[in-house]
Amino acid sequence: MLYTRSSQLFAEAEKVIPGGVNSPVRAFKAVGGTPIFVKSAKGAYMYDEDGNRLIDYINSWGPMILGHAFEPVVQAVIEKAKLGTSFGMPTELETQIAALAVSMVPNIDKIRFVNSGTEACMSAVRLARGFTKRDKIIKFAGCYHGHSDSFLIQAGSGAITFGTPNSPGVTEGTAKDTLLARYNDLENVAALIKANKNEIAAIIVEPVAGNMGCIPPNKGFLEGLRQLCTDNGILLIFDEVMTGFRLARGGVQELFNITADIVCFGKVIGGGLPVGAFAAREEIMNYLAPLGPVYQAGTLSGNPLAMAAGLAMLQSLDADRAIFQRLEEKTAYLAAGMEKVLKANNVVFTINRIGSMVSVHFDAAPVVDFQSAAKGDNETFKKFFHGLLQEGIYIAPSAYETWFITDALTYDDLDFTIQAVDKVSKTF
Ligand SMILES: *Cc1c(COP(=O)(O)O)cnc(C)c1O
């Protein structure tokens, strides 16, 4: 496959956009080469500017769970656009999507809509700080909660107690209020809480991690976090921007029957338009302006096009009770097929999977946290990525990303993918 026009377009983009992209991982830095420019997409496929068809395993990093250009979403957006695209005033649509979301997700009474997952997590933490009147938060190395300052803290060696900024521009003042813990390590969390008694407002966690590959929580991990939070007056924030409306109707809270205090959403909830949201029980949500003292706002929040897309998406998921089971079966089929051919070709690998999230790691040891995820062989991953691309299969251009299975994928697509993995892994 040739990517001539994409390369030309990238060169043009680089002149006027930093790195040619509006979000860094799109730039192919981790795998080499130049990014592919998309012209259109439908169902499980994307069509690029060179006329290639790609089977898409990223699906806009999660939102397109029912496939690209899903008809009910497209129709809803077109109809709403004709009636005006933004008012900065309330619309009935906002109440409709809020009511539906609240009915689908356990343990939430009220929800507020914002424009991205980043905003949702940032606002959730502010709310938790305001509510508890405490400053510090605990986050886990390798968990991503968007690009706001408090979250751009990563575990370097010895950075277990106090975070060090990993992006210039994040002040040390901000970094010191973010404590880092190791994913799936309860003792580590308990020690941090003990060392910062009555200072921690919230623990924010991806209840199934998806930003260091797919890493499900060990048995007891989420239960343990819940208990530690309850015992210490800390709010538990589930960042379900990736997992919400994907792993189950009610997200990970439903899947594992664990109660979070605040839940963040993004990706699927917007049906492919820029939407985020955060939700909690009434007592916490009423702490937000205009009812309460914690300020949070947005000119385009609850935008009618975004709400129309999100509502159509949630209605479609709500109406199809078999969807999550069907997605799980497709993903299990793909994972089993890949496992078989990778083994046959003597590749060293680990596949992690839960529901419709799956990741391939080129290391034999179990991948349970950021440290183990970082051990994967990136040279093999590069060959894997570019090999699949030549076969017309698009996975994320980074070894730390989850694949997102969409309902639009057929078993023929999955078989084709498994054959391509076989072919490519013979060249390692
Ligand atoms: C994608 C993601 C975010 C950030 O959402 P944006 O819409 O990109 O700002 C936050 N948390 C998790 C778990 C995510 O996967």
Domain positions in the chain are 4-69+322-425, 71-319
Q: Rounded to the nearest 5 degrees, what angle is found at the Cα of 124, between the Cα atoms of 226 and 328?
A: 60
Q: Which of 80, 136, 267, 330 is catalytic?
A: 267
The stretches in the chain having pLDDT less than 50 are 155-161
402 lines ligand 1 (CB under 6 A): no
Catalytic-residue membership of 239: yes
Cα 421 off chain centre by: 24
**Residue in 48, 177, 185, 239 annotated catalytic:** 239
For 151-166, b where at least 16 C-beta lie within 10 A, e where not — what string?
Answer: bbbbbeeebbeebbbe
CATH architecture for segment(s) 71-319: 3-Layer(aba) Sandwich (3.40)
CA atoms of 142 and 89, how far apart (whole Å): 38
Residue 110 known to be catalytic: no
Position 415 scores a pLDDT of 98
> For residue 155, what pLDDT is reported?
39
Q: How far is the CA of 212 from the centre of ligand 1 (A)?
A: 13
* pLDDT at residue 1 in the model: 79
- State which fold the 4-69+322-425 domain adopts: Aspartate Aminotransferase, domain 1 (3.90.1150)
Contact 44, 412 (CB under 8 A): no
Query: What pLDDT does 2 receive?
Result: 86
Beta bridge partners of residue 201, listed in sequence order: none
| pLDDT number for residue 246 | 98
Q: Does ligand 1 have an atom closer than 6 angstroms to the CB of 266? A: yes
Q: Is 415 a known active-site residue? A: no
Q: Is 206 in the pocket of ligand 1 (CB under 6 A)?
A: yes
Write down the pLDDT at residue 171. 86
